C-alpha cells in the first residue's frame, strides 16, 4: 500500500541529507534522503452512517477531521458516499 494520507493526499518527498560535519568542512557526502509523512492507522466512527471506517491518515489529517467533522471530511476526500 502506498504511503499516502487519505485526507490530505500527502506522500513522501525526496530531500537532501545534511550532516553536522558539512558545517565544519563544506563537504556534503550524504546524498538524497526520502522523507515520509507521519501516517497513523485510525479507526473512526461515522455517526451519520452508524459504522466504523479504517483510514490511514497523517497527524495533519486528524486535525482536519477534528475541525470539520468526520462525515464531511471523508465525504470530501471521496472515501464514503453520501446517504
pLDDT tens, residue by residue, 6-44: 999 999 999 877 776 666 666 666 778 899 999 999 999
Alpha carbon of residue 48 to chain centroid: 24
- pTM, rounded to two decimals: 0.75
Whether 57 contacts 38, CB under 8 Å: no
Q: What pLDDT is attached to residue 18?
A: 73
Q: What angle do CA 56, 60, 61 make, to 5 degrees?
A: 45
DSSP string for 56-75: EEEHHHHHHHHHH-HHHHHH
Alpha helices, DSSP H, located in the chain: 20-25, 59-68, 70-77
Amino acid at each position: 500500500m502506498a504511503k499516502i494520507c487519505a485526507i490530505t493526499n500527502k506522500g513522501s518527498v525526496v530531500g537532501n541529507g545534511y550532516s553536522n560535519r558539512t558545517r565544519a568542512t563544506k563537504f556534503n557526502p550524504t546524498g538524497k534522503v526520502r522523507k515520509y509523512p507521519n501516517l497513523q492507522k485510525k479507526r473512526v466512527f461515522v455517526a451519520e452512517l452508524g459504522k466504523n471506517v479504517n483510514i490511514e491518515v497523517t497527524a495533519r489529517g486528524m486535525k482536519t477531521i477534528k475541525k470539520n467533522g468526520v462525515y464531511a471530511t471523508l465525504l470530501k476526500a471521496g472515501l464514503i458516499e453520501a446517504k
